[in-house]
Amino acid sequence: MLIIGLDPSLTCTGWGIVAKNGSRLSHVANGQVRTDAAMTLAERLVTLDRELTDVILRHRPDAGAVEEVFVNKNPQSTLKLGQARGVCLLALARAGLPVHEYATRLVKKAIVGTGAAEKAQVQAMLKVLLPGVKLAGADAADALAVAIAHAHIAPPSSQT
């Protein structure tokens, strides 16, 4: 089974795909979708949708997992993050995938063992869990963590 994890952002959305075979996990691919800040919000959302759809069509995952929105001090940033997250949910749902959502703290706990883990700790554990992985960036690492969390947390009946 292939699981795609997404770490939504209007600036740089991370994506990561893992294969789960029984209790074994392996890295399939990871990357980041960047949007140009000079574009309008609508144009940036279209870019995000188009590129995520391309990734989904290329890899054909069986399930999708998305990191939940956290609230920023800046309400405008939170709104933009929510809009990017909506595009992520839409792209997965349009492809007919079951979509699951996970809080950041739960993802960190599933990967590192504590919800208060730092990004560096998460990235170090990714290299242990997925030997030889080359991370496309911090957002891609977060997305892989979301995919792995889904593989560990979701009951087998909801993984597909």
Determine the pLDDT at residue 154. Answer: 83
Q: Which of 54, 67, 68, 118 is catalytic?
A: 67
Give the CA-trace dihedral at 5, 57, 30, 49, to 10 degrees. -70
Mean pLDDT, rounded, for 64-78: 84
Work out whether strand 99-102 and strand 24-34 pair parallel, antiparallel, or are unpaired. Answer: unpaired
What does the alpha-carbon distance between residue 133 and residue 13 come to, in Å, rounded to a whole number?
A: 19
| Catalytic site includes residue 36 | no
Q: Which of 49, 101, 118, 139 is catalytic?
A: 139
Q: Which of 7, 49, 51, 142 is catalytic?
A: 7
What does the alpha-carbon distance between residue 10 and residue 19 come to, in Å, rounded to a whole number?
A: 27
| Catalytic site includes residue 67 | yes
Mean pLDDT, rounded, for 95-124: 93
Q: Give residue-wise pLDDT tens across range 73-102.
A: 788 888 888 999 999 999 999 999 999 999
| Catalytic site includes residue 62 | no
Q: Comparing 60 with 78, which gets the higher pLDDT? A: 60
In the chain, the domains with their CATH numbers are 2-158 (3.30.420.10)
Question: For 156, which DSSP code?
Answer: G
